[in-house]
Amino acid sequence: MSGLFDLTGRHVLVTGASSGLGRHFAGTLARAGAKLSLGARRAEALAETVAQVEAAGGEAHAIVMDVTDAGSIERALDAAEERFGPVAVLINNAGVTVTKPALELTEAEWDGVIDTNLKGVWLAAQASARRMVKHRTGGSIVNIASILGLRVAGAVAPYTVSKAGVVQLTQALALEWARHRIRVNALAPGYIQTELNDDFFESEAGKALMKRVPQRRLGAAGELDGPLLLLASEAGSYMTGSVVAVDGGHLVSSL
């Protein structure tokens, strides 16, 4: 790819790259010319993502990593730098959820979501930014938030809290790290169709939810490509601390 969203030769680390949006983002970034370090906990699924990228002509390698473990992140960054040099762009995508009424949540379930979705974003961003400062390269960090960090839904309390934290963290880090030429922005998807939620959106509850989206449909993963590349590339060079919602108008729907 050439032009405004070009990432040719840029080293991009994607967390949570073993499935879902992380796998999709890997393909998008590879088509834009990026060299990819793909991180997640599941080695076998990661290998499938790498194979898909390489089959399409891209460059990628897998790094088994756990974003809740600072040591794991440092080892992952060491391996990434050894392969492709300093990381220029971090896509902070790893995330989990638990769907359960708040009265029934266990402490372990709460901690599991917060540790991955918020602490993990913090640890990966800090470790990556420290190296960007050390190498004097600057860079871009794109945190994957959610419209549920800006409004709420039932039965996903720790998820909404974690994503609201990601929004505030994005803005706090953008303020502090601009002096180092590090941009920090967030992408906040609405309801995007993936293999993980197909069954739900075929259900009556899923169809009812879709009717509340002003565009009356789910988003396609490809509709996140433009916003992702905007924030990752120099096309967004004067953007930092921004939260870009891609949601079919869901956030402006009436309460």
> What residues are labeled active site?
159
Question: Rounded to the nearest 5 degrees, what angle is found at the Cα of 94, between the Cα atoms of 83 and 105?
Answer: 155
- Give how far Cα 114 sits from Cα of 67, 123, 151, 178, Å: 12, 12, 17, 26
Q: In whole angstroms, what separates CA 180 from the centre of its chain?
A: 22
> In the 8-state DSSP scheme, what is residue 100?
S
The rounded distance, in Å, linking the Cα atoms of 150 and 138 is 28
The rounded distance, in Å, linking the Cα atoms of 74 and 77 is 5
